[in-house]
Amino acid sequence: MKKKIGIIGSTGSIGSSLLNVIKKSDFDIIFLSAKNNYKKLFKQAQIFNVKNLIITHSDSYQKAIKINKNKKVRLFNNFNFNKIIKKKLDYVMSSISGLDGLRPTFDIIKHTKKIAIANKESIICAWPLLKKELAKHKTNFVPVDSEHFSLWNEIKDVNPDHIKKIYLTASGGPLLNHKINLFKKVHISTILNHPTWRMGKKISVDSATMMNKCYEIIEAKNIFNLNYNKIDILIQPDSYVHAIVHYNNGFAKIILHNTTMEIPIFNSIYPNDKKYFKSNKIDFNKLNNLRLQDISSSRYPITNILKLLSNKHSLFETVVTSVNDEIVNEFLDKKITFNDISKKVIKIIKSQKFQKYKLIYPLKIQEILDLNSEIKLKITKLNFL
C-alpha cells in the first residue's frame, strides 16, 4: 500500500531533493506547495500525479488559476489543511525557509504521523510549542539538516548526561582563507559562491558570517535537550564530517557522508525500508585530511551571539532570527558592507529594547509571528540601519 505524503515547499532545494529520491510507486503525494514558482509546481504535479497544489503568493496563485487546464487539480491560496487532508498522512516534509514556514509547520503536525522539519526558524523560535504539539498528536519528528539528522541517528535515545560534548561542523564558507582586513570590500558575488553547497542567497550570507551555524547550535540545544556549554563548532572545509559526538565514557564518534542533502532526506523517508541509496565509497583522501580547526571569533564575530543566549527558551531567539534577517536583507540590497552585518546584528540584539525579550516565554505561535512582524519597525524606529 502506498504511503501518503505531503511537501510544504516542494519547489525549493529540500523539497526538490525529496522528490528526486523517492520512487513514484512507493508514495501517493496528497499535496505540494510553493510561494511563487507555480510553473515548477505544475511540472512536479504532472510527474507525480498530485491533485492538490498550494500557492501562497496572491499574484502567482491568480496566474496559476489561468493556466490550470487540468480541472482535476485543485488550487489553494493558503495552508488550510482541513480542506485537503481527510486522514492522517504518513509523512510530511516542511521545507519552507524563514518564519513564513512556522505556522504551516505547526498546523500540519496534527495531520501527519511523521514530520521531517528542515525549517530552522520553527525549531529555533518555537521548539517548546512544537514539541508539545507533537506529543499531543503522537506525531513522530525527525530533523533534516545534515548535522542534526546525523546527530539524531546517533544520540536521539541517549541520556544527555552521558554526552560530554557534541561538535557541529562548518565548511568555513567562502571567506575561510580570505584576509580579514579585506572583508569590508568583499563583493556579494564572493559571499554567494559557497565552496561546498549550492544554496539560496540568504542562507549563503548566513554561512559566510557563520550565523547559520549559530542557528544550528540553537537547534541542537533544543532538539537534544543540551546546554550550550556542551555544543561547539569546528571548521571542516570539505563538509565531509557533519558531526562529532564525545561521550563521558571516553568514546568519540565521527559522523560523515557525502555533501548532498539527499542522504538525510532519503533516510528520513526510508528509515527502516530495504532501500539502498547509491552513494560513493568512503573518500579516504578527505578522511586523511580533515583539517579540523576551532572557530575564530575574529574571522566570524557573529558567533559572539552564542554568549548572549540563555539555556532557557524565550522570545529572544525570535529577536535574533528576525534581526539577522533584516540586516542580511540590507546587505543583499547593497546598503551595508559585509563587515556591517555582524556589527549591526550584535549591536541591535544587545540593546535594552530587545534584551527584555529574554524574560518572555512564548505561549502561542502567534506571539512569535507578531514579534517577527514588529522587528523591522522597531529597528527602523531606533535608527539602527
- Same domain, yes or no: 187 and 332: no
- Residue 280 lies inside a defined structural domain of this protein: no
Q: Could you tell me if residue 377 is inside a domain?
A: yes
Residues 196 and 235 in one domain: yes
The residue that leads in pLDDT, 191 or 122, is: 122
Q: How confident is the model at residue 24 (pLDDT cuts 50, 70, 90)?
A: confident
Does residue 156 sit in helix, strand or coil? coil
Torsion of CA 183, 189, 191, 197, to 10 degrees: -160
Within a domain: 113: yes
Give residue-wise pLDDT tens across range 160-182.
999 999 999 999 988 888 888 88
Residue 270 placed within a domain: no
Range of the domain at 187: 145-259+286-303
DSSP 8-state code for residue 281: P
CATH code, domain with 122 = 3.40.50.720
| Pair (56, 171) in one structural domain | no
- pLDDT tens-place string over residues 274-328: 778 888 889 999 999 999 999 999 999 999 999 999 999 999 999 999 999 999 9
Tell me: do 95 and 115 sit in the same domain. Answer: yes
Q: Which of 253, 292, 235 is CA-nearest to residue 164? A: 253
- Examine the domain organization and report whether 15 and 51 are in the same domain: yes
Residue range 369-383: average pLDDT? 81
For the chain, percent of residues with pLDDT exceeding 90: 78
* Final residue belonging to a domain, choices 89, 112, 143: 143
Residue 324 lies in a domain: yes
Predicted local distance difference test score (pLDDT) of residue 278: 81
Q: Tens digits of per-residue pLDDT, 181-204?
A: 888 888 888 888 877 766 778 888
164 and 292 share a domain?
yes
Cβ(79)–Cβ(184) under 8 Å?
A: no
For residues 139 and 197, state if they share a domain: no
Go through 301-325 and write b for each residue having 16 or more CB atoms within 10 A of its CB, e for each that does not. Answer: bbbebbeebeeebbbbbbbbbbbbb
Does 166 fall in a domain? yes
The span from the CA of 259 to the CA of 190, in Å, is 20
Region 372-376: mean pLDDT is: 89
Residue 384 has pLDDT above 80, yes or no: no
Whether 122 and 239 share a structural domain: no
| Helix, strand, coil distribution of the chain in percent, nearest 5 | 50, 15, 35
Q: Is residue 279 part of a domain?
A: no
pLDDT at 276: 80
Residue 356 lies in a domain: yes
On whether both 29 and 124 belong to a single domain, the answer is yes
> Is residue 359 located within the same domain as residue 221?
no
- pLDDT tens-digit profile of 135-144? 999 999 999 9
Question: Any idea what the CATH number is for the domain that residue 334 is in?
Answer: 1.10.1740
Q: Is the pTM of this model over 0.85?
A: yes
pLDDT at 61: 95
Question: Are 58 and 98 found together in one domain?
Answer: yes
**What value does the mean pLDDT of the chain take?**
92
What's the pLDDT tens digit per position in 63-120? 999 989 777 899 999 999 999 999 999 999 999 988 999 999 999 999 999 999 999 9
Q: How many CB atoms lie within 10 A of CB 139?
A: 19
Percent of the chain with pLDDT over 70: 98
